[in-house]
Amino acid sequence: MTSGAPSTTVLSENDISRALTRIAHEILERNKGGSDLVLLGIPTRGAPLARRLGERILAAEGRPDASLDDLVGTLDITMHRDDLRRNPTRALEPTRIPSGGLDEKVVVLVDDVLYSGRTIRAALDAISDLGRPRAVQLAVLVDRGHRELPIRADYIGKNLPTSRSERVSVRLTELDGTDSVVLSS
């Protein structure tokens, strides 16, 4: 963030926790349980969000001792992005698929912010290289609008109408030492 730019905290640590708990319950309700679910977090901040959702899903289903690694994975989309020519190369993150694979599963992609839809388009391409899920759903912490592609989230922590000049910064304890979502000009 630019120093001196006004910023507003739109989600606190408690708000994020409540939103993730609500999303976990919505996922379970829509899919009639979690037996066929795979959560795939999109690095960087989608990965810890997917793990948190996975923990809540297992707890809600009364399976707190089940292995989170059988439910949650990560999906690197770097090589499927459509802006590789314009942006500096970034390090590849590991893609980790739960041992049950993706075939005939309900895959829930998890990301922090939904904006243009291009990241999710790349994720859909990456999934097609790995298997054939029965369905793909999308969970995001923040939907800020301004879609460039016909993509919408199935589960949203907070709808946050923004201008294109505003910046949404998601901070997570696992990476940033604190949980918050901040909107700045």
The confidence score (pLDDT) of residue 110 equals: 98
Domains of the chain plus CATH, in order, are 12-165 (3.40.50.2020)
Q: What distance in Å separates the CA atoms of residue 118 and residue 165, rounded to the nearest whole number?
A: 18
Please report, for residues 1, 17, 166, the alpha-carbon distance to residue 8 in angstroms, rounded to integers and kept in the order given.
12, 18, 11
The confidence score (pLDDT) of residue 80 equals: 85
Q: What distance in Å separates the CA atoms of residue 38 and residue 46, rounded to the nearest whole number?
A: 14
Summarised one tens digit per residue, pLDDT across range 7-22 is 999 999 999 999 999 9
Q: Pick left, alpha or beta for residue 55 (phi over 0 → left; psi -120 to 50 → alpha; otherwise beta).
A: alpha
- Structure tokens given for 74: 């990560």
For the entire predicted model, the pTM comes to 0.93
